[in-house]
Amino acid sequence: MADHHDHDHYKEFDYERVTSPMQNVTSGQAITGAIIAIVGVLVAFGLPLVLV
Handedness of CA 39, 44, 45, 51 (dihedral sign): positive
Q: What is the pLDDT of residue 44?
A: 94
Helices (H), the chain: 27-41, 47-51
pLDDT tens digits, 1-52: 555 555 555 556 566 666 666 678 899 999 999 999 999 999 999 988 988 8
At 24 the pLDDT is 82
Instruction: Give the CA-trace dihedral at 8, 14, 20, 23, to 10 degrees.
Output: 110
Give the C-alpha separation, 38 to 25, whole Å: 19
Q: What is the pLDDT of residue 25?
A: 84
Confirm if 30 and 37 have CB atoms less than 8 A apart. Answer: no
Q: Residue 41's pLDDT is what?
A: 95
pLDDT at 39: 96
